[in-house]
Structures are given as C-alpha cells and as structure tokens.
Amino acid sequence: MPITRRIGAVFTLSLLIAAQPARAEEEARWPKSPDELAVTLSVQHALEEGPVVCTVTLKNVSKARLKYATSMFEKGAYCAADAGWTARKEPLCEKFLICGNIGPYEQDLYPGNTVSKTFYLHPSFLSIPSGKAAVRFGWRVYRIVDKPAEKDWDRRQLDLLFDLKDAQSVEILPATERNVAATLRNLEADLATVAKRLGPREDYAWCSDDPSAAFVDTIKGCRHKEFVPLLFRAIDQLPAADFRRQLVGVVYESSPTPEEGFSALADYLSSPSPAAADEVIDYWVQEEQAHEESKRRREELQKPLLPEPDPEKALSQKYFREIIEADEEAWKDSKRHPDTRLTKEQFDRLRAVKGVWVRTLLYSYYPDKCPAGWVDALFDDLKQVVRPPERFQKLLTDLDDDSFDVREQATAELIRSGPTFAWYLWAAPLDKLPPEAANRLQRVLEKVEKPELPPLWRRAISHFGWYPTPQNQRLLDALTSSDCPSLVSRAAQEAIKEAKKRQADDDARKIETDKPGGK
C-alpha cells in the first residue's frame, strides 16, 4: 500500500505540472546599451618566441535574451599586441578560398552566457622577446539590417551598434627551461586530446572543422627546438595533409640553423615508418619553387615601367608593380631561415636512406637528380615489396594437393604464419582458385586479421596516382607487375583506376567547355 500511494502521488504531481500553461520564451533582441555586455581577455600561452595565445570573451550581463551578428569576414572579436616587436610584412593582396555562407549570421546569447574567440598572436611577428606587452582587444557588436542592393545575397548587411574596447598588460615569460617545459606539457596534452577526438579517420587535404586546427595554430610560428619531437608526433598523427605540410615548416622555424632543421627531418625520414615523408619532400620542392618565383619577381621589378598616357592604366600599372614589391618583401621575411633548399650534400644524404618508400618519393619528386644505378637499385628493392615469398606460393599450391595430409599441413602453416603472409593472403583471388583451395583459404582468412597499409605506403601510392608523371607511372607499373597479387599491388591498381577516371572526367569537362555556349 505505501508503494501504491507513493506512485499515485507522483502521478498526480505530474498532472499538475503538465496542466500549467507553458511560459512563452522571451524573444531575443538586439542590445540597447553597451552595459548589457562585458568583454574580457584571458591568456592561454605567453612565452618568449611563442606561443602567445589569448581568448576574447563576450558575456551577456543583462537579464534579457540578446542577439548579435557576425559574418565570415567580420567575427566581431579582435585582439592585437601593442609592442615593439618587429611584425612580418604582409602582401597587399592574398588569394583564398571561400567555403560556406559568407553571412551575415544572427546568434542568440542568453543571460549569463558567453561566446569567445581565440587569437594566435605570435605568427604575426618575426620574434617575440620576454617582458610586458599591452594587448588591445574588444568586440564589435553588430545587428543585421536590410539595405537596398542589386543582388539578394548582399541585401542583409551588418550595422555596428557599439564597439566594446579594452586593453590589458600581458607578461611574456622568458624561455627558460622550466617555462618551455611547462608549455610543452600543455601542448602534449592538447595533442593527446586532439588524437582522441580525431579517432580513426581517412586522410584528407583540409577540413573546416578539423579538431587539430587550434593545436596547429598554437604551435605554428614558435621557435623552440624543444618542440621538435612533439612536432614529429603531430606530423605522424594528423590526417590533414595541409596541416602536416605546415608543421614540416615549423621544424625549420624551431631549429636555430637551417642545417639543424634539415638534420632533424633527415633523421625522421630514416626512421622505420615516417608517415609524412610525402609532405617533407614536398616542402623542399615548394621551397625551390618559391625561390624561382622570387627570382621572377626580382627580374620583373628590374624592368622599368612602360610609358602609359592613359592615367587610369598608368595607375593600374603602378598598383600592380606595388603588389609585386609587397609580395617579394613579404616572402623575404616570412621565415626564420631565408633559404632551406636542399644542398647537394643534403640530397646525397637523402638518397642514402634505406627505406624504399622514402626513396620512391625522392625519385617521384626529383627524377633528374637520381642517377641511373640508384634508380635501378630502387626498382629492384620495390619489386621485393610486392613479390610474395616462395614459401607462400608453395603453401597456396598445396591447398589443392591430392594428399589430404598435405592440404591440412598447408592450411595449418598458413594460419600460423598469418601475420607474415597477410599481405598476400588477403589479396589472393578466391574466385580464380580451385574450389578446395578457395574453401581452405577462406578458413585461413577467418583466423588471420586483415592488415592495413601503413600511412607512408598508402600516401606514397596515392601520390603516384594523383600525379601522372612518367616516373610515377613507372613506379605504379612496378608495384602492379607481380603475378601473385598483394594488398600493395591492389592499392596500386586502384590508384591507376582512379587516375584514369579523373582523366576521363577532365576530358569530358573539357569537351563540354569547348562546345559553343559551354561554360
């Protein structure tokens, strides 16, 4: 009885609550006064030579539900250091990709709630010393208004209500052993958190919601050799190729001399499985191209401007010359070490790397710098990657032997040697084997875990397929030449197939574009 009464009482209370009319939620409104909002600054990192990371927070201190507006190009929050540090030069024009709706966007902020934006101040400066730094920060609070416009997408615009400004003194800590170690521990914890959030992911070039973006922005532009081991762990773990490439450059920024930076990268390429070998070698290729582009800019700047009687054309001519000058100046002071191109001695060291996949990438990027004898040795080693062991081929044949005992022994040995033969077991064509051998191989596969290609192998094969140069085609041909398939040869075949599909799609688009009236 007591239990019954208790249940009944709860049921009655529920009915009473449900019977009460729901209170209409207050509709959000634009702020009427700056006093309804408060802006504050918090410091995550402030270390000599970076990182210097601050977060600006906007809080609704009123009792009303407020709304505010932002856009892709005006986030509202801002933060800058007022210090005597030498700033990096910036180009007058920059190309970038717009991804998504440019806005404006309208967002709600409930009483007591906050919204924040983090700023990474250190990459904007060539070098950051220790000491006091005044940081200006604030939040421009906008509303959305409708204004006449020729296009519908430009009708809704931002209108500034007020600008919440403030300043704060920030202590930049000296780069002592203790302070650097403390920052490094925090960065290691950040990377561990990122790794958990990423989980198992396929590779991609770039992703707008990549969980590792904040970590990369924090460590990018820092100059501490103590960070280098962490950089390599991050380079190995991150799925975004763009971030891996950026961190390769940070290795040089973190090294006191370009020679030390190269030595660290060369040691990495000589390690058992350098997952980002493609990005490392690509960095040096991009460095050479950047120097060639600088040479072209300097040659262009040495040419006198042609006489132009039209004032508007003369002004445009002068403006484009200023753009080239700004590009050259910005590039010249964009890095700690102006020249990190490979020297002959450094390239010789790279050619001596034992790892076959690193050497394939070296040949892929620098075929003209690879002697014929070295290339022959590379392809001999590459054939060993896809050539199955003789013992495996014998056991595969024995699965269909006339003797039951031989078939049983072969099956048992394949199961025991599963980890060794897994690359070939999982690529064996079941549909082309005799029924007895196919049935036994299926039993073996149930006991042997399917291996995955290591990131270095997978990325190298993908690179060969994406760039159909003669040397890459030769590499793919070598990987698919084995009579007995392996997971490696299967991946190479898939890369060739994808490359042909992309070429066919490109050809189809070109035909469509070349048609009269085509776009």
Structural domain that includes position 420: 390-445
The answer to whether 444 and 415 have CB atoms below 8 angstroms apart is: yes
- Specify whether 331 is located in the same domain as 463: no
Question: Is 133 part of any domain?
Answer: yes
Residue 6 counted as domain residue: no
Based on the fold, state whether residues 361 and 461 are members of the same structural domain. yes
In a shared domain, residues 75 and 138 = yes
**Helical (H) or strand (E) element with 37:** strand 37-46
Q: What is the CATH number of the domain that holds 98?
A: 2.60.40.2360
The verdict on residue 121 lying in a domain is yes
- Give the chain's domain count: 4
Q: What is the pLDDT of residues 315-331, one digit of tens each?
A: 999 999 999 999 999 99
What are the angstrom distances between the C-alpha of 112 and each of 37, 38, 62, 66?
10, 10, 7, 11
Average pLDDT, the chain: 88
**Residue recorded with tokens 């959305």:** 144
At 68, the pLDDT band (50, 70, 90 cuts) reads very high
Confidence of residue 10 (pLDDT cuts 50, 70, 90): very low
Q: How many CB atoms lie within 10 A of CB 410?
A: 23
User: In this predicted model, which residue has the larger pLDDT, 419 or 475?
Assistant: 475
Is 39:212 a contact under the CB 8 Å cutoff? no
Q: What is the pLDDT of residue 518?
A: 57
| Residue with the two structure tokens 């190729």 | 241
Q: Judge if the upstream peptide bond of residue 51 is cis by omega within 30 degrees of 0.
A: yes
381 and 474, same domain (yes or no):
yes
Per-residue pLDDT at 208 exceeds 90: no
Residues 318 and 458 in one domain: no
Same domain, 277 and 186: yes
Confidence category of residue 21, pLDDT binned at 50, 70, 90: very low
Residues 199 and 344 grouped into a single domain: yes
For residue 233, give both structure tokens. 């762990």
| Mean pLDDT, range 43-60, rounded to an integer | 97
Tell me, yes or no, whether 168 and 43 share the same domain. yes
Last residue of a domain, one of 175, 209, 228: 175
Taking the CA atoms of the chain, what radius of gyration do you get in angstroms? 31
> Is the per-residue pLDDT at 488 higher than 60?
yes
Q: Are residues 235 and 285 in the same domain?
A: yes
Higher pLDDT, 80 or 507: 80
CA-closest candidate to residue 235, choices 220, 222, 223, 224: 220
Residues 190 and 338 in one domain: yes
Provide the edge-to-edge strand list for the sheet that holds 52-60.
37-46, 52-60, 114-120
E strand intervals along 207-296:
none
For residues 285 and 343, membership in a common domain is answered with yes
39 and 150 co-located in one domain: yes
Q: Give me the percent of the chain exceeding a pLDDT of 70.
A: 91
